[in-house]
Structure 1
Amino acid sequence: MGRRRAFDADEVLDVALSVFWKKGFDGTSYADLVEATGVERPSLYAAFGNKEALFRRVLDRYYDHYMDYFPKALAAPTAREVAVAILRGSIELNTRFPDHPGCLNLNGALVGADDSACLRRIQVEARDAGEAEIRARFARAKAEGDLPPDADPAVLAAFITALIHGFAVQAKVGVGRETLEAAAEQAMAGWPKGSGAAP
């Protein structure tokens, strides 16, 4: 009876991440993952499960290793600084790798099948979780006077979320970092100021 070839799970996840990032969820087959990782299908399946389970593991790794700017941004002193840091971090990540620009999660939506319920569920969960964190941070900013009384944390969070998703799509189709940064600056021109906001 042959022995299974040992492999490093983290290395396999990094390779799978790169494949998913380039091809999207639906565009990536298990055969693609086997070929890229060099791990036989039974071993890959035993270690990570089906494609959805593997994609979820990859997405967790993506958030841990590539989206570390997000929790740092939420810790910024003011709501405006939070928003700017999120936008800048998103733009930097979306344009960092010329061979697979854009966002790992959203790239799947751009090339995925319309009836891919699995992918839609994963994307909605990720979007909702991130937007909820932004909304909670802006609610705290409003309570502290950093945002004016008429500011709506939910609307502002939706605004920032829409911007970073839009930047990811634009980066995917070749829009450069300078253009996206200029768009972010324009978007922030009308940011509301509270009585306690820094100048």
Structure 2
Amino acid sequence: MRKRYGGGVESKQSGPIGRPRGFDVDEALERAVLVFWDQGYEGASLANLTDAMGISTTSMYAAFGNKEELFRKALERYTEGPGGYLTRALEEPTARGVATAILAGTVRTTTRPAHPQGCLGVQGALATGDPGRGVRDLLVAWRNNGCSCVRERFQRAVDDGDLPRETDPGLLARYITTLAFGIAVQAASGVGRDELQEMADAALRNWPLS
């Protein structure tokens, strides 16, 4: 069920009109995701966000908290939606399948037509001033958590004999996630999907054999 919030929609010319109308919180949050994804945390102004969300600044604060809290909610939505390929990839039956799905998912998500290029979790706050430190730390933790999940999955692959005993699951996880993050940066720079997929395929040609 989609949530509606009765915080009101204000006219930019004349303030509140009649009885406050509710707005669709989920739809507003989806629009905020796209703004942060496209412009980053510091680049996204309150005016950009509220215009895209179709609500007033007052309503935004009432429904989502401040800008940093809105970003946190947007990152959660991104992780569940466009970034959900990581969770699905971890369910692949082999470690190579996991790595292949992670890289393919990264290429697909960071080059989607009619969507911002790159990855919200990578470019969202690479460079921020002191006011954005909390968001920068949040995204560092987000990226590290993803790497930890991949490491745990590769450790299971070692234990099950799917990867050679001498494999370092932490190093292999860091390799795959670093490559994925690099793909996201290249996508944001305009490198095309086919070229990025070729790079991912090349990286997997030397996959450890059990």
Is the TM value for this pair above 0.5?
yes
Aligned with residue 26 of structure 1, among 42, 46, 59: 42
Match of 1:165 in 2: 181
Aligned with residue 120 of structure 1, among 123, 131, 136: 136
Deviations 1:32-80 (A, max 9, x none): 1112212111111011001110011111111111122212211111101
Secondary structure at 2:81 match in 1: helix
Aligned with residue 150 of structure 1, among 166, 174, 186: 166
Q: Does 1:138 align with 2:138?
A: no
Q: Contact 1:17 / 1:58 at 8 angstroms: preserved in 2?
A: yes
Identical aligned residues as a percent: 47
Q: Contact 1:4 / 1:43 at 8 angstroms: preserved in 2?
A: no
Aligned length: 193
Please list, as runs of the form range in 1=range in 2, the aligned pairs for 1:36-51 lying within 5 A after superposition. Answer: 36-51=52-67
Structure of higher RCO (CA pairs closer than 8 Å, 6+ residues apart): 1
Amino acid at match of 2:128: A
Amino acid at match of 1:69: Y
Please list, as runs of the form range in 1=range in 2, the aligned pairs for 1:1-199 lying within 5 A after superposition. Answer: 3-98=19-114, 100-109=116-125, 112-115=127-130, 116-194=132-210
Tell me how large the CA RMSD over aligned residues is: 1.5
Deviations 1:90-124 (A, max 9, x none): 100000135510001222235x4254312211111
Secondary structure at 1:84 match in 2: helix
Q: Which structure 2 residue ranges, 5 or more long, are not aligned?
A: 1-15
